[in-house]
A = this chain, B = another copy of it.
């Protein structure tokens, strides 16, 4: 309790929910980290494909990035419309479900879920990978560092989206200011030098061309560059996190993210040919990222370089946060439709959907652990999910406008968006299929199948639970009560007292493991005790005396034996209800879990519940022991224990 208070914060009341909503100021870091981080790998990915073209490729990056920027612009306008049309939640799942049907919705949902998990693992490992290549002594701790970052992001998000936005705003705005400033300075220098500035630290020479430009190569470069757009959908999936008027704040956040991202992408792709910066082969020694070369060329390797590159690493690491904001909200919507366990839809102590956050952390942690913190091989799996969701969302919006008729401009925008993202998806799929995108294509239907199976199971149970009509209260008969008895003590007393409240038919069952003369002697002693201490007082209180049955357990089995007894009685009296009264010494301290033999009674309880039967009930009667020095305890311990102590002191 105290630890969770410290880590996650105090429990919040429902009515505090309103004050926990965010504005654009927190929205930009909370939801934009993924999108802004894309500026680091989008242009680089495109340039990498263009390496074989040599200097020719460097010139081609501008038209390719221009196409991507056009698509980004279309997506921006489309998502603005989506947010406006679905002000409570404009996520791809909702839009696709409402306009294209449940299957399309589930397709979008599962594509996004996979993408969010991958985003966490890939983002964190990319950031830590860059950190360990900068500080090699940290390399052996790659996995540990990844898991620490994951834990920090998880805890911050369990505290709330507001906290995540505030905590992560420092690296976000630092990154925007430093890299943006460097690029502006670079642009100014380029204009001043009439397009031929002198690099401070000259980048390595562009490698010689080995191929000439072909359409397929350009398409692949476009597909790779499109990863720069992942993360743009984040705002539409998280509209419910914003303060009222949510549409306004969501619009502002989306505009902020797209504007900054657009500027960064445009500036990078314009400056690369100017400074002669091209992608380098990552597998060769001396590798430097495009942004590192470009920053070095513009401002040299001084303080500004380290601030810009350092904040870039932080943004890459924290780009996972976007998933932590959106994944739980997506799961909540899917769970509300019954396709995920209901726990995903329950707000946790801080009013965020904690179950979703924890599952996301567990899945990403598993991926990181399995891959030892180096998830390069997962990158081709990426982007398929995002572009599937883009396309479905745009297509859904297009149908939305068709159904509403009129509004041709809006239909045109979303239609163009659908066509553009659909085309990009086709290119991405065919370009990356062999490298690993086929895995995503296989996993998505699997996830859909699981979601549907969950819904079917809930439907099955719900149909039976909600069966026709009012409660049937005919034929109520007092139950036969069974008590597993070890010996005649206060524990047995509690059980017998409660049993006699219920019914006149009380049977105590004692299992004996002994055999031969020992067993007879023990049996006789127990029978005498039972007669003197139970039967006689019961009769004198005017009650039917409970029966004692002693049964041999030659295989020393306790649970199996008792369940068998219950089954026998059920067979004998098929119409009578049956109750098993299980007395139990309450564990008051952690050591009681080791010292009291309660594992057995717990297993008995579980076995009886599984055994089920329409007429069975399992009754647990707690018996609390009194601490050794009650007078001390009353002074020192909390009120709860006081009560238990004094309660146990007075005779029952």
Task: Report whether A612 and B586 are in contact in the complex, using a CB–CB cutoff of 8 Å.
Answer: yes
CB-CB under 8 A from A467, the residues of chain B are 490
Binds B, one of A201-209, A299-307, A552-560: A552-560
| Across-interface contacts of A464 in B (CB, < 8 A) | 490, 625-626, 648
Which residues of chain B come closer than 8 Å to A605, judged between CB atoms? Answer: 620
A294 at the interface (CB under 8 A from B): no
Instruction: List A residues at the B interface (Cβ < 8 Å).
Output: 11-15, 341-343, 346-347, 349, 454, 456-458, 460-461, 464-467, 469-474, 476-479, 488-493, 496-498, 500-502, 513, 515, 532-534, 536-538, 541, 543, 554-557, 577, 579, 581, 584-588, 591, 594-597, 605, 608-614, 616-626, 628, 640, 643-644, 647-648, 650-652
Are B595 and A15 neighbours in the complex by a CB distance under 8 Å?
A: no
A-B contact pairs, 18 of them (CB 8 A): A14-B554, A15-B515, A341-B597, A343-B597, A461-B585, A464-B625, A470-B532, A472-B537, A473-B496, A473-B543, A476-B501, A476-B541, A479-B501, A501-B577, A584-B609, A612-B622, A612-B648, A613-B643
| A537-B472, A537-B473 known; A498+B584 contact, CB < 8 A | no
Nearest B residue to A587 via CB reads B610
Task: Name the distance in Å between A560's Cβ and chain B's nearest Cβ.
Answer: 9
Whether A617 touches B614, Cβ cut-off 8 Å, given contacts A501-B479, A513-B14, A556-B14, is no
Query: How long is the Cα–Cα vector from A490 to B93 in the complex, in angstroms?
Result: 33
Say whether, besides A533-B470, A536-B470, A618 and B620 are in contact (CB < 8 Å). Answer: yes
The distance in angstroms between the C-alpha atoms of A555 and B16, with both chains bound, is 10
Min Cβ gap A574→B in Å is 10
Asked if residues A625 and B460 are in contact (CB atoms below 8 Å), the reply is yes
Measured CA separation A239–B297 after assembly (Å): 84
Secondary structure dominating the interface of A: mixed
Given the known interface contacts A343-B597, A472-B537, A620-B617, the answer about A13 and B479 at a Cβ–Cβ threshold of 8 Å is no
In the bound complex, residues from chain B placing their C-beta under 8 Å from that of A471 are 488, 492-493, 496-497, 533-534, 537-538
Q: Which residues of B contact A493 (CB under 8 A)?
A: 471-472
| Minimum C-beta distance from A367 to chain B (A) | 20
A538 touches B609 (CB 8 A): no
Contact A534 B470 (CB under 8 A): yes
When all copies of this chain in the complex are counted, the total is 2
Q: Given A14-B554, A595-B341, A473 and B502 touching (CB < 8 A)?
A: no
Q: Name A456's closest neighbour in chain B (CB-CB).
A: B628
A341 — which chain B residues lie within 8 A by C-beta?
594-595, 597
CA distance A107 to B176 in the complex (A): 70
Q: Are B650 and A614 in contact (CB under 8 A)?
A: yes
Give A592 to B180 CA distance when docked, in angstroms.
52
Q: How far is the CA of A536 from the CA of B647 in the complex (A)?
A: 39
- List the B side residues contacting A614 at CB < 8 Å: 647-648, 650, 652
Complex alpha-carbon distance, A612 and B586, angstroms: 7
Cα–Cα, bound, A470→B619 (Å): 23
Query: Considering the chains assembled together, what is the distance between the CA atoms of A614 and B494 in angstroms?
Result: 9
Q: Which of B479, B492, B557, B613 contacts A644 (CB 8 A)?
A: B613
Task: Contacts A490-B465, A556-B346, A647-B613 given; indicate if A470 touches B537 (C-beta within 8 A).
Answer: yes
Which B residues are in CB contact (< 8 Å) with A11?
A: 555, 557
Residues of B within 8 A of A581 (CB): 617
| Closest-CB distance, A17 to chain B (whole angstroms) | 10
* Alpha-carbon distance between A581 and B618 when the two chains are bound, in angstroms: 10
In the bound complex, how far is the Cα of B476 from the Cα of A618, in angstroms?
20
Residue numbers in B under 8 Å from A584 (CB-CB): 609
Q: Which residue of B461, B515, B538 contacts A625 across the interface (Cβ within 8 Å)?
A: B461
A375 CB to nearest B CB, Å: 25
Given contacts A346-B556, A471-B537, 10 further A-B contacts (CB under 8 A): A15-B515, A458-B595, A464-B490, A471-B497, A605-B620, A609-B620, A612-B648, A618-B619, A619-B619, A620-B620
Residues of B close to A347: CB separation below 8 A: 556
- Determine the distance from Cα of A588 to Cα of B605 in the docked complex, in whole angstroms: 15
| Given contact pairs A555-B13, A620-B605, A500 touches B472 in the complex (Cβ within 8 A) | no
B500 A501 Cβ-Cβ under 8 A: no
Closest chain B residue to A461, Cβ basis:
B625
In the complex, are the beta carbons of B497 and A473 less than 8 A apart? yes
A497–B478 Cα gap in the complex (Å)?
Answer: 11
* Smallest beta-carbon distance A583→chain B, Å: 10
Q: In the assembled complex, which residues on chain B have CB atoms less than 8 Å from the CB atom of A479?
A: 501
Identity of the chain B residue whose Cβ is nearest the Cβ of A514 in the assembled complex? B14
Contacts of A652 in B (CB 8 A): 472, 614
In the A-B complex, the 10 residue pairs with the closest CB atoms: A470-B533, A465-B489, A612-B624, A473-B541, A471-B493, A618-B620, A609-B622, A612-B622, A13-B554, A461-B625
CB distance from A572 to the nearest CB of B (A): 15
B620-A554 in contact (CB<8A): no
Q: Specify which chain B residues have a CB less than 8 angstroms from the CB of A473 in the assembled complex.
A: 496-497, 500, 537-538, 541, 543
Question: In the assembly, what is the distance between CA of A643 and CA of B614, in Å?
Answer: 10
Measured in the bound complex, the distance between the Cα atoms of B464 and A612 in whole Å is 34
| B500/A502 in contact, CB under 8 A | no
- The answer to whether A616 and B609 have CB atoms under 8 Å apart is no
Given the known interface contacts A470-B532, A501-B502, the answer about A597 and B489 at a Cβ–Cβ threshold of 8 Å is no
Which residues on B sit within 8 Å (CB–CB) of A619?
579, 617-620
Expressed in whole angstroms, the Cα–Cα distance for A473 and B533 within the complex equals 10
